[in-house]
Structure formats: C-alpha cells, structure tokens
Amino acid sequence: MRKLLLVSAVLLVAAAPPSKPKTPSEIVADAPPSAWRDIPADDLLVMDLRNGAQVVIQLAPQFAPVHVANIRALAKGGWWSGAAIYRVQDNYVVQWGNNESTRPLPQGVVAKPPAEYHRALKGLAVRPLGFADPYAPTAGFAAGWPIGYDSKAGTANLAHCYGYVGVGRDLSPDTGTGGELYAVIGHAPRHLDRNIAVVGRVIEGIERLSSLPRGTEALGFYKDASMHVPISAVRLGSEIPAGARPAYQLMDTQSASFSAYVKARANRKDDFFIRPAGGVDLCNASVPVRKKPA
C-alpha cells in the first residue's frame, strides 16, 4: 500500500476522537458561521484562460487602493483582451499582461499610481502571529490578510506569500499600473515586500498557474509567443450576473476560530506528527477561504 506520507496542510482526514486536539482543518470545518465574512463581489477578479482554466483573485483595496481601482478599471475597460501569460519562473512567479507601451490605458486608469508598498498601521485591527519573522519587526494578520508591520514606524505591508498577486513594474519611481500582474508560485519571495504593490491573492485555481510549463529564457520568460497562455477574459465578480457569480468567504482573522487555527498550525498534533514545531511561518498560516455555503 502506498504510504500516506504527510497529512496535508489544508486537506483533512477522518474526524478525530473528542479527546484529541483539533487539527487545523478540523478547526476550519467546525468554525461557526460568525467566523466567516463574505468577500465582496467587487473584490473578486475572475480570469479565464483560453485553455479553459479559471483563476479567481481576491483584491486587497485596504492595502493598495489606487492600484486596485486601476485593476477594476482595466477589467471594465477591456484591457485584458489579447493579453497572455508570458513568464513562468520556477519557485518564483507566473506573470501576465498586455503591452503597456503600445496600448492606450482605459479611461479612469491612473498612469502613475503612488507607491502603495505599505500603509499606515493605524486603522487596522491586528492579530499578531506570535512567532518570529525574518522580514519584518513583527508579523500578523489584519482585515483577513497576512502582514509584516512596524509599530514604531507605524506601517504595515502585505506579505508575498504563495499565491499572492503583485503589480509588475519597471525601476522606481514607476510602480506599475496594474496592467501587468504576477502571482507567486514558490517559496515566499518576501524580499519583495515593501518594494512592490501587492494587490491580492489567488483564492481559487493557483494550481492552474503553478503547473504551467516553465519559461526557458532568462527570468522564466517564454521563448516565443507560441508558448504564451492566452487570457480570454478578466472580469470583476460584480460584472458577472448574480446567478453565475462565484461567491467566497474568508475566515475573520479576529475570530476565535482563526486564533485556534494559527495555534494548531504551530503545534501540529495529528497522529502523523511526533514533534510539533512550536511555531509557524506567516505564509504557512494561510487565511482560510471557502466557497460561500448555499
């Protein structure tokens, strides 16, 4: 018989007897409705690839409002017609876009957005991670997102975790319009934190990006256009008729369920584990997302 090997971080297995501490997945499965928040339809970016795959991104207007407004205007303005995935670099990013130098930006798109690489800590209710972080003075969660933050400087930034989406840019002071995006498909490249506008995360279909063939040119660019993966449509959730619109919920990072989840992620006690780690990396305590129950 094939060995089960490793119990997944996210998937779950049979119900444990009551004496055992709950696994992270059991905590998520058992979380009460009050622990979940609907994700607004206007915060969903639904990308259809011509190969039939669909990828759903949750936008983070709390952290990069001008870039997110751009991304909404680009979707509504038909920017993505003719766009493609043209770069897949192993253990790094998948990148897609349209030609920003030859194509006019749709109406309402700010050509030179401010550097929304961090925001004010003030106004955010923070749930500290409680474990060390090599990239920020402290790490935690706010408004459903993983952040690094600096209480002294009063700033907070989204973290480049697996599946997180950022805005391609040239050298500073260019910050990118949002017309070229990338998603992380490897070990979190947190050195990019506070250097790029992070605008959201893939909440469904990241495996349709991460399993694409790697580009063979420098930085993972595809050698020629025949390898590109064309994008057939990018729509906001709010542009999709209510009946056909996908709907998701996010675990409230201020909820007791989320606290229990982080604690369990740091102290795995499933039968498979012998020595709980006693800690967890910010990007390994990914905020639970689910399809909204009918």
Q: With respect to its own copies, which residue has the nearer C-beta, 149 or 236? A: 149
How near is the Cβ of 86 to its own copies at its closest, in Å?
Answer: 7
Q: Which two tokens stand for residue 75?
A: 């979707």
Sheet holding 145-150, edge to edge: 119-120, 155-158, 145-150, 138-142, 126-128
Q: How far is the CB of 242 from its own copies (least distance, A)?
A: 29
Of residues 142-161, which lie at the interface with its own copies (CB under 8 A)? Answer: 161
Q: Which is nearer to its own copies, 6 or 125 (CB)?
A: 6
In angstroms, rounded to a whole number, what is the distance separating the alpha carbons of residues 26 and 11? Answer: 9
Non-local CB neighbours of 81 within 8 Å, separated by 6+ positions: 98
Stretch that binds its own copies, among 73-81, 93-101, 238-246, 255-263 (CB under 8 A): 93-101
Token look-up 């206007």 returns 42
Determine if 86 is a binding residue for its own copies (CB under 8 A): yes
Residue count at the site for its own copies (CB under 8 A)? 78
Out of 51, 81, 151, 211, the only residue in the binding site for its own copies (CB under 8 A) is 211
Residue 200 region, left (φ>0) first, then alpha (ψ -120 to 50), else beta? left
Question: Cβ closer to its own copies: 252 or 265?
Answer: 265
Question: Which segment (26-34, 48-56, 59-67, 86-94) binds its own copies by CB under 8 A?
Answer: 86-94
93 is an interface residue for its own copies by CB under 8 A? yes
On the CB side of 269, CA atoms within 13 Å amount to: 13
Closest distance to its own copies from the beta carbon of 241 (Å): 28
- Min dist CB 142 to its own copies, Å, is 19
Widest pairwise Cα distance in the chain: 64
Which amino acid would we find at residue 88?
A: V
Q: Cα–Cα distance between 196 and 194 in angstroms, integer? A: 6
The single residue among 21, 69, 103, 135 that binds its own copies, judged by CB under 8 A, is 135
Q: Which of 42, 228, 284, 290 binds its own copies (CB under 8 A)?
A: 284
Considering only residues 103 to 132 of the shown chain, the ones binding its own copies according to CB under 8 A are: 115, 117, 131-132
Q: Does 225 bind its own copies (CB under 8 A)?
A: no
Tokens of 273: 């584990």
DSSP states of 246-292: --EEEE-TTSHHHHHHHHHHHS--STT-SS--S---GGGSPPPEEEP
Does 219 engage in binding with its own copies (CB under 8 A)? yes
- Six-digit token string for 74: 């680009």
Nearest approach, Cβ of 202 to its own copies (angstroms)?
A: 11
Question: What is the number of helices (H) and of strands (E) in the chain?
Answer: 4, 16
For the bound state, the minimum distance from the C-beta of residue 246 to its own copies, rounded and expressed in Å, comes to 19
200 binds its own copies (CB under 8 A): no
Give the per-residue contact string, 260-279, with its own copies (x = CB under 8 A; - = no). Answer: -----x--x--xxxxxxx-x
CB 209 within 8 A of CB 183: yes
